[in-house]
Chains A and B, each alone.
Chain A
Amino acid sequence: GENVEQHPSTLSVQEGDSAVIKCTYSDSASNYFPWYKQELGKRPQLIIDIRSNVGEKKDQRIAVTLNKTAKHFSLHITETQPEDSAVYFCAASVNQAGTALIFGKGTTLSVSS
């Protein structure tokens, strides 16, 4: 079945620096790749997603890139701020509808001012 590996497990950056989180997946049929942010004690929230027919997507300081050949996708956060501190989860779909997601183990991002 699908396996999603996420690295690093923890990431510490200075305010203003960039942060990059990488995920790999095993099922070449996966077609939907969302990223969720979970602040301490709160519910996960979608921050950006990408579908397999697109190579890159950007939303202000956040971007996601997808390499279908290599089966990996990455989250890029530029100009990090303390409020970016949270756990970030990547996920890959295992069905055509994109309803069944396999999540990575998460990356704890700490942004210090």
Chain B
Amino acid sequence: ETGVTQTPRHLVMGMTNKKSLKCEQHLGHNAMYWYKQSAKKPLELMFVYSLEERVENNSVPSRFSPECPNSSHLFLHLHTLQPEDSALYLCASSQRASGGATGEQFFGPGTRLTVL
């Protein structure tokens, strides 16, 4: 596998379920991201892990919980979601120079999540 991969590609879950989205990057990057993409809304940054620094969008509900065990793997744990959380969840990675700026973000194919 090359680039950024995400599993599963599609997920249907009930509001009481607990599930996790997985992202893996094979580019040797040191920054990883979660985005939410809904119809007619901008791409929304949810979380960033970069050089052991975590950036969090304060508007993201606590029912979304990220985990980044190492620089190649990123998870998004989901619990007690709402129907409005149905969206495409995109993972991305980039290379950030130490103390410097980051470069291009490479996106994965996304997980299409439907909450019933």
Give the B-binding residues of A (Cβ under 8 A). Answer: 4, 31-32, 34, 42-46, 49, 51, 89, 91, 95-106
Contact = CB atoms under 8 A, between A and B. Distances in A.
A32 B101 CA distance: 9
Contacts of B94: 99
A98 B101 contact: yes
Nearest to B44: A103
Interface stretch (B14-22, B66-74, B75-83, B106-114): B106-114
Nearest to B110: A43
6 contacts: A4-B42, A51-B101, A97-B102, A99-B31, A101-B105, A104-B42
Given A89-B43, A106-B42, A97 B107 contact: no
Contacts of B50: 97, 99
Interface in B82-97: 90, 94, 96
Contacts of A96: 101
Interface of B: 31, 33, 40-45, 48, 50, 55, 90, 94, 96, 100-102, 104-105, 107-110
A44 B90 contact: yes
Nearest to A49: B104
Contact of B109 (A43, A91, A98, A102): A43
Contacts of A99: 31, 33, 48, 50, 55, 94, 96, 102
A96 B45 CA distance: 16
B110 to A, nearest CB: 6
Nearest to A90: B42
Contact of B104 (A46, A97, A105): A46
A106 B109 CA distance: 18
Contact of B100 (A97, A101, A105): A97
Nearest to B104: A46
B55 A101 contact: no
A91 B109 CA distance: 20
Nearest to A45: B107
A100 B107 contact: no
B3 to A, nearest CB: 9
B108 to A, nearest CB: 6
Contacts of A97: 50, 96, 100-102
